[in-house]
Structure 1
Amino acid sequence: MGLFLSVLIGVLSSIGWLLVLMTSILFAFSHALLVLLRNVPAPSSGNSSTGNLSDSSSSGNFAGNPFTSLDSSLKTVWAFLGGDFAAVDSWDAGRSVDIMRILFSFLTTIVLLNVLIALLNNVFNESRNRAKKTWIRNRAEFIATVEVFMMTARQRQNKNWFPSIVFYEMDAEKFEEYSKLKRERPWPESELGVESPASTSDL
């Protein structure tokens, strides 16, 4: 569970800028449609004509207009991400709605969502490797805390629990990679207070 949460936090922190950009686009299109259609009566269906001429802007049907407030406009534009444009299909507001519909589909569905998928693929692999190292470090810190604060001096001197010699097995290829990495980026001896590990040439 801890490894999964670490990966999730790493992924969210890496794609935060993209989420902010998508949120800005949603608010921008919601506000634009709100300004464009809030004073336009909702399209009516099945209403018979009375034969009287009237001003549609004053007596139109605004009850079914989803762009009369910002929150309802946001909900409608959010549905656009799934390809649901039914809310604007029957509007007769000129070419402005058609242009905004094409522009929104291009920016979000075609560009940003594909960028998000590609970015998540790379970020997930990097975060998984980084999270495993973080989990191992946190586990070591927890064990050290238990040894220092939750064990007596006699328990810490138990050779069965704390042997004086510890053997660690490693493949030769991994050791070569590790040694090469440490030669390129040596440990900060001033911080560690120990000498750098021996390289392959010293063995």
Structure 2
Amino acid sequence: MYWLINGKPPLWIIGFSNLLLYFKFLLFFRVFEPFGVYFVLILGVAKNIYIFLVILTFIIFGFAHAFFIILRPTNDDKENDPFNLATKYNSINPDGTINPTPTLIQLPNSNTNMFDWFPTSILAMYLILTGDSGSLSSWTYRETPTMTLLLVVFTFFTTIYLMNLFIGLLSKAIEDYDKHEEFLLQKAKVIMEIELFYIFPCQRKNKDYFPDWIYYDVPANEVRRLINAIDNNQTEFDIHTPIISEKLRKLVNIPEPVNGKESNEELKQQIKNMQELLNKFIKNSNGSKNDKIKE
């Protein structure tokens, strides 16, 4: 649209458009189980660990600000000026001594001192987090002890401690979302999105697409397992808990859950009746009492 109205767009728009287009193609594979399982893991894990990423972001910003204050060039301190940090080349005299006056100086660029601008300071700390400490190569560790101390603290608490903790959280989140039910839930959301935004009203009225009744074949043991999980509050639903009819409970032979004071009274009465029946059985039966109780 930008191209048709304003002519050829900038290259960065073309680059990002192509990148987003590939992401869009990837989303089409969500409904296929071999690919959809990985989408469930990627999106589900991201939801679980985003708080950890927020904490890590604040830590990176804090250290970036500290390095920015220490290593930025100021009017009083010219040592951090990019021209003073640039690589210098000295010539060698005929007698083998080194000329103290630099003969050649490499022109500095924006990467010579990444801590003279706060946004590049943040980028430098991110690179250090990934193991690239090239942004600090212009300084020596002995002559800048404050920088060395901050670097040691940052690498220990983030690269060593927090990153290993992050890997542990990823493993736990993957175990929680590595389930077939999570893929089915994602597939249902994709179908819902299609029904809401990608079909016409005439298609919504088509009984082949939207029948009045839908029948499912489900093994009885799976139904019992789900009903028991619902009764014991061992399941979570995004919208509402399914309604289990009395007819379905009788069909799979699962009674209503025992909840509330009235249900407890009924249970006590049933236990009392069973005790009375047991006493009558023992009284009217031959043999020792202990044998009958064991029986």
Given the two structures, how large is their TM-score scaled by the length of structure 1? 0.68
Q: Distance in 2 between matches of 1:167 and 1:97?
A: 66
Q: Deviations over 1:6-45 (max 9, x none)?
A: 4433222211111112211221111111110113332644
What's the Cα RMSD here?
Answer: 4.0
Given the two structures, how large is their TM-score scaled by the length of structure 2? 0.49
Q: Distance in 1 between matches of 2:136 and 2:125?
A: 10
Q: CA deviation at 1:5?
A: 4.0
Between Structure 1 and Structure 2, the one with more strand by share is 2
Letter paired with 1:170: P
State the partner residue of 2:69. Answer: 35
Q: Deviations over 1:145-176 (max 9, x none)?
A: 889823159x958xxxx78xx4624263x444
Q: Which has the larger radius of gyration?
A: 2
Deviates more, 1:35-44 or 1:191-200: 191-200
1:184 aligns with 2:237: no
Q: Deviations over 1:59-118 (max 9, x none)?
A: xx9763221111222222222122222332452443211111111111211112112111
- Give the SS at the match of 1:8: helix
State the partner residue of 2:174. Answer: 124
The runs of at least 4 consecutive aligned structure 1 residues that moved more than 6 Å come to: 142-148, 190-194
Q: Indicate how the Cα distance of structure 1 residues 181 and 144 shifts in structure 2: closer, same or farther if over 3 A, else same.
A: farther
Letter paired with 2:61: F
Q: Distance in 1 between matches of 2:217 and 2:194?
A: 18
1:200 aligns with 2:257: no
Conserved? CA contact 2:41–2:178, under 8 Å: yes
Q: Indicate how the Cα distance of structure 1 residues 70 and 167 shifts in structure 2: closer, same or farther if over 3 A, else same.
A: closer
- Unmatched 5+ stretches in structure 2: 1-28, 31-35, 74-78, 91-98, 256-295
Conserved? CA contact 2:227–2:244, under 8 Å: no
Aligned residues: 183
- Unmatched 5+ stretches in structure 1: 52-60
State the partner residue of 2:129. Answer: 81
Conserved? CA contact 1:11–1:120, under 8 Å: yes
Conserved? CA contact 1:81–1:108, under 8 Å: yes
- Give the SS at the match of 1:29: helix
Identity %: 19
Letter paired with 1:87: S
Q: CA deviation at 1:125?
A: 3.1
Letter paired with 1:75: L
Greater RCO, 1 or 2 (C-alpha within 8 Å, sep 6+): 1
1:46 aligns with 2:99: no
Q: Distance in 1 between matches of 2:178 and 2:165?
A: 20
